[in-house]
Structure 1
Amino acid sequence: MQQPPVARAYFALQALAGAVWWILVATVPLVRELTLGGLPALPIALADLPLFVGASALAACNIAWAAWVAAGWTTLVTLAMAAYATVTTQAGWGALAMIAATIGSAIAAIVIARGSFPAHWILLGPLGMREARPATRARNLLATAGQITVFWGLFLVVIPVVLTWFERRWQVDLPVPAAVRIAGLVVLGAASALGLWSGATMASRGDGTPLPSATARRLVIAGPYRFVRNPMAVAGIAQGAAVGLLLGSWLVVVWALCGSLVWNWLIRPIEEGDLEERFGDAFVAYRDRVSCWVPRHVWPRIVDT
């Protein structure tokens, strides 16, 4: 069976990148030091060349089982490299590269096995799409406040602090001017205000909450939703990037930007499909008039209902 071309192209690029990396390890001492530290290159190469480079090349040639070999081996190497970098503070760049390869290999292998990536997996359990039960405005506001507390605590405090710790432990951090941290604080304040405004509008006007498992019962096109269709997402991504600037962590900024891609490519189509199914032409008209990310007009001509 012919495998999806995008997944095959990924494995082709991964095989090429792996081969180039090994050439650089053998010829450029700095690359070897940054990505392998004190690890012996030869025994690692004897296993990695067939199981990573070779298996990725075979997966690119439409051999499905090779994709799982590459993904499995990459995962094992990533765990070992992360542990080594954490204990020794060496080879941090190698650990980061392997984390990226593991994520890419796993996604590509799943696409090869299923024909496409099952985005609905992301919205399972507590994140599953379900309309909120009838409740008072006060109850919806209280539920929204609880959701904001939990999600902001996790995604804007816990995860950034952990990422920053590993970034410094693995010695992959970069110097950041004080002005960048100040800018991060300013952006964080503005984005947080947008997030609170959006959450309050959703709870008070939509008879629900921003969480997919208790989503609004009414179509909300008031408040910040007059300017962009997803102000909560805009706020959250801006907050994540701002926290990265405030902490002086490029890794946290990348984490936030990757989150924006996941949301835009995987979650948004499901969410907007649900809105179109529930609200029909009203949502279609709103979607056609209001941009997802960047306001088209300063004051969109939408009735504030």
Structure 2
Amino acid sequence: MAVARRWEFAGARGAITARTWPNPDPRYVAVLVHGYGEHLGRYDHVADALVRHGAVVCGPDHAGHGLSAGERVLIHDVADLVADVHTVAAAAREDHPGLPAVMIGHSMGGLIATRYAQLHGAELAALVLSGPVLGRWDALSRLLALDEIPDVPIDPDTLSRDPDVGKAYAEDPLVWHGPFKRPTLEALDAAIRAASAHGSLGALPTLWVHGEDDRLVPLDGTRTGIEAVRGSDLTERIYPAARHEVFNETNRDEVLADVTAFIDRVLAGSASPPA
């Protein structure tokens, strides 16, 4: 198993802890962007698969998440999280000049990665979106309509058919197990609208993977967002009966194989990496 090196930097709103999984002879950079309430430490197995595939892997714990500073899960503006991811990606480009970069975002991280690609797409060779919060998220609309946000945490059973995944999530002290905060919901809503308004990702090769039985970020709502941002090179993989965290699903090996095959296709077709 690849072992990550932790490092810190001054983020948009406080100290950010990032991780880098090294590779002595990488052929590309993979930037991981985690979801709401979790942290990048839950992606060790994803990073390990990517390192074995030829990547040097990196990514931050978002502000207010995991090991990073800030009030827990408080997000004022998704642009701040995009800026922090940009800092990590820039450091990787400086350490590995000339290597193509692939960004992989899950759930809220898919929204962040989409906004990153819309703003900095020339820096990326490819984009992978896993169960991204895009388009229409009815749960968000329902919560924003309430006078008071209920103290109802994310149900671990919605994450995966593998019961060990839900158990580990429920017992993880770095995972947020409390309610959403209204400023965070408002920031997510604004970013979802901004992504749809910005529109096409152009020619950026994009892979969208999603669980058919995703009850946390339902497929049909995300599809409206994908249609709003899709460019000329979109690959879609919908996994029957899979839930929200396809990288943690019972068919995780299939999902990771689809991701690495997509990356191989992109890298084979790249005459030269982005600057």
Q: Higher relative contact order by CA 8 Å / sep ≥ 6: 1 or 2? A: 2
TM-score, length-normalised on structure 2?
A: 0.25
Q: Specify which structure has the higher proportion of strand.
A: 2
Q: Specify which structure has the higher proportion of helix.
A: 1
Larger radius of gyration: 1
